[in-house]
Chains A and B, each alone.
Chain A
Amino acid sequence: MAKTEMNWAAIDADPRFQALHRKKTKFLWTLMTISMVYYFLLPIGTAYYSDLFKIKVWGSVNVGLVFALSQFIVAWAIAWIYAQRANSEFDPMAQAIINDAHNIK
């Protein structure tokens, strides 16, 4: 790609970029917060709610094991949700800006 001068400030101020920025920021940090809260429930739970973690739910399978395994499901789900949204929404929005970038002054 030939490196021509871009007016970065103008692109940043463009309503299409601002829309992308708002949507992406909100979505990303929401997912980030959910995943961090859910993850830290594990060390906090094992440390302070070990009685809860010991309750058997399926044969000798206890709440703690189910919760630990659910961490994998939640991590995969967040990755999948993010990839879907990024592919279907953020990428086309970014592409529209890229295509028009030279004309934004």
Chain B
Amino acid sequence: MIRMLLPLIVFAGLLVLLIFGLRTADQREIVQSPLVGKPVPEITLPGLNDPETTYSTAELIGEPYIINVWGSWCWACREEHPYIDRLGREAGVPLVGFNWKDEREDALRWLNRFGDSWSFHMVDFEGRAAIDLGVYGAPETYLVDHRGVIQHKHIGPIDATVFEDLMRRIVQMRAEADS
């Protein structure tokens, strides 16, 4: 009888392990970007509304800021747009739009329709600078501190939970910058 129960016992052990695995699944799911903790690469790109102006990440050093990667073609960017609105109003730090692999006209029309809450936009139509930045896809949101170091990166659209988390981190970065 005991011998017959052996498979059941082994299976029970397997279940315990899997239940444990399930409980810690969230932690494993976070893809760590290799760039977190490293300085933002120096990127110089033209603006969206103002193609004559160029913006550079080097100019932004000194205060914390947010980089948000988006494109008019990106469905999930529309989804997160309400939270981008709120970030623009509530974060109290520059919110840099990184317009990725887009067409100028499409992007401007999109902003007209849904609202432009970003401080300014850099455009990367070719998608070359995005490679330096380690962009996986749009949307993506980076938090950069006053020393120009990437503190955090969120891949995918921002929802209520992510928004709270981002705000908490931004407040912390601002406090650090002030001290």
A binds B: no
Residues of A at the B interface (CB closer than 8 Å) are none
The chain B residues found within 8 Å of chain A, CB to CB, are none
